[in-house]
Chains A and B, each alone.
Chain A
Amino acid sequence: MTDRPPDSLDCGKTIEDLGDYIDAGRSPSDPSIDNCPECRAVMEALERVSRLSRTMISDDAERLPPLPESWYRSVVAAIQTELRAGRSLPISHPDPRVTITVTEGAVRALLRATGDSIDGLFVGKTEIAGDAEVIGAPVEINLSVTVAWGSDFKRLTGQLRTVARDALAQHTELNVRAINILVEDLHGFPPEKDAR
Chain B
Amino acid sequence: MTDSADDLEAAIRRIEGVDDLYPGRRGPLDPTTLISQDEKIRTFIEAGSSVVSVRVGVQLSASAPSTARLIADVLRRSHSDAQIRIEVAHLAEGRTASDSAVHPEDSPDS
A-B complex is real: yes
Write out the residue numbers on chain A whose beta carbons fall within 8 Å of the beta carbon of B84. Answer: 95, 97-99
CB atoms of B65 and A91 under 8 A apart: yes
Cβ-defined partner of B90 (8 Å) among A88, A106, A172, A173 = A106
Q: How many residues of B contact A (CB 8 A)?
A: 36
Write out the residue numbers on chain B whose beta carbons fall within 8 Å of the beta carbon of A109. Answer: 90-91
Write out the residue numbers on chain A whose beta carbons fall within 8 Å of the beta carbon of B99. Answer: 47
**Closest approach, in angstroms, between the C-beta of A101 and any C-beta of chain B?**
5
A107–B72 Cα gap in the complex (Å)?
Answer: 20
CB atoms of B87 and A25 under 8 A apart: no
CB atoms of A27 and B104 under 8 A apart: yes
Among A11, A38, A101, the one with the most B-chain Cβ atoms within 10 Å of its Cβ is A101
Question: Mostly helix, strand, loop or mixed at chain A's interface?
Answer: mixed
CB atoms of A85 and B85 under 8 A apart: no
Write out the residue numbers on chain A whose beta carbons fall within 8 Å of the beta carbon of B105. Answer: 26-29
* B-contacting residues, A19-33, CB 8 Å: 22, 25-29
Residue of A nearest to B55 (CB): A37
**Closest approach, in angstroms, between the C-beta of B54 and any C-beta of chain A?**
10
A38–B90 Cα gap in the complex (Å)?
Answer: 7
Cβ-defined partner of A97 (8 Å) among B57, B82, B92 = B82
**Closest approach, in angstroms, between the C-beta of A133 and any C-beta of chain B?**
13
Residue of B nearest to A172 (CB): B64
CB atoms of A25 and B102 under 8 A apart: yes
Residue of B nearest to A170 (CB): B63
Among B58, B65, B110, the one with the most A-chain Cβ atoms within 10 Å of its Cβ is B65
Write out the residue numbers on chain B whose beta carbons fall within 8 Å of the beta carbon of A11. Answer: 26
Q: A27-B104, A97-B82, A97-B83 are in contact. Are A107 and B91 (CB under 8 A)?
A: yes
Residue B60 is within 8 A (CB to CB) of chain A in the complex: yes
**Closest approach, in angstroms, between the C-beta of B21 and any C-beta of chain A?**
9
**Closest approach, in angstroms, between the C-beta of A85 and any C-beta of chain B?**
7
Among B63, B64, B76, the one with the most A-chain Cβ atoms within 10 Å of its Cβ is B64
Residue of A nearest to B57 (CB): A37
Proximity string of chain A (8-44) to chain B, C-beta cutoff 8 Å, 1 when within and 0 when not:
0011100000000010011111000001111011001
CB atoms of B98 and A47 under 8 A apart: yes
Proximity string of chain B (84-110) to chain A, C-beta cutoff 8 Å, 1 when within and 0 when not:
111111111100001100111100001
Residue of A nearest to B61 (CB): A170
Known: A85-B25, A99-B85, A109-B91. 19 other contacts (CB 8 A): A10-B27, A12-B26, A25-B104, A26-B102, A27-B105, A37-B22, A37-B55, A37-B57, A40-B90, A41-B91, A85-B89, A93-B72, A95-B84, A99-B86, A103-B87, A106-B88, A106-B91, A172-B64, A173-B65
A-B contact pairs, 20 of them (CB 8 A): A10-B25, A10-B26, A22-B102, A25-B104, A28-B105, A35-B22, A37-B57, A38-B90, A93-B72, A95-B72, A97-B82, A97-B84, A98-B86, A100-B68, A100-B87, A101-B85, A106-B88, A170-B63, A172-B64, A173-B65
